[in-house]
Structures are given as C-alpha cells and as structure tokens.
C-alpha cells in the first residue's frame, strides 16, 4: 500500500530518481540526499507505514538484516571507524518524515555528526519493575 502524498513512498517506489544502493520486492535502499556523512543510506519499505508500530514484522526484519549488510559494505568501502544504524519513531524521538525508514550512517573519528543524549538513572528497583512490565506486554 502506498500513500500518494508521502515523499518516501515515491522514493521507495522509484517515482523519483535516486542513487539506489539496493532494491528487492520489499525494500529500496538509497543514498540520503542530505547525508549526515558521505555514504549515509536510507532503507525504505515499499509499503507505507508511518512508524515501526504499523509495519509488518517481515518488513522490519528485512530492513534490519539489510542494515547489517550495508553497514559491513560501508565499513569495507569507506574504511569508516564505525556505523550508526538509526530508526526514529514519532516526533518526540526525532522522526521528521512519517514513513518508516532506517538510517545507516558511516562514522569517522572526529566527524561532525552527533547523536548524543544526557544519561539519566533509575531509582532503586525501578529498572527491574519496568523490565517486568515490558515483558508482560510482549
């Protein structure tokens, strides 16, 4: 299913020309037009889902298996010092285009790309309780 108003549906469907890295019946991986670093790739499912919550698990699995393969290829090709695999869901988490996608970003020591957060902490026993609560929802 496509959303005719979604730019990432158009990119995934080949309606807009891209530098395509990989394509199969489920996914298209393209070079990001506004990369965090050279070599930045976006993996797009060919079906529309605004976030991971809506996407079929088969697509999610395929996207992350592909992310691993692309990370290995970037490491070999660019000799990067590391790779971020990033997937944001909803505005509070930094999602700006509401079509599920995975970023694969090559990282280099002392590059200008920053993905940081300020660590917090748990109260005594809080992490165990949250872990238990999550387990019950699975």
Catalytic residues: 101
Write the CA distances from 72 to 25, 39, 75, integer angstroms: 22, 12, 5
- Given a contact cutoff of 8 angstroms between Cβ atoms, the answer to whether 67 and 43 are in contact is yes
Look at residues 32, 97, 98 and name the one whose alpha carbon lies nearest to residue 70. Answer: 32
Any idea what DSSP says for residue 91?
Answer: G
Say which residue the tokens 């079929």 belong to.
56
């Amino acid at each position: 299913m496509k959303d005719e108003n979604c730019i990432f549906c158009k990119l995934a469907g080949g309606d807009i020309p891209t530098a395509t890295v990989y394509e199969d019946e489920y996914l298209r991986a393209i070079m990001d037009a506004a990369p965090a670093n050279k070599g930045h790739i976006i993996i797009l499912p060919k079906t529309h889902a605004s976030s991971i919550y809506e996407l079929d698990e088969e697509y999610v699995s395929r996207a992350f298996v592909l992310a691993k393969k692309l990370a290995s290829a970037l490491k070999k090709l660019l000799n990067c010092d590391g790779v971020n695999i990033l997937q944001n869901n909803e505005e509070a988490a930094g999602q700006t285009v509401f079509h599920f996608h995975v970023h694969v970003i090559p990282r280099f020591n002392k590059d200008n790309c920053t993905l940081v957060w300020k660590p917090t902490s748990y109260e005594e026993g809080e992490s165990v309780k949250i872990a238990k609560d999550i387990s019950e929802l699975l």
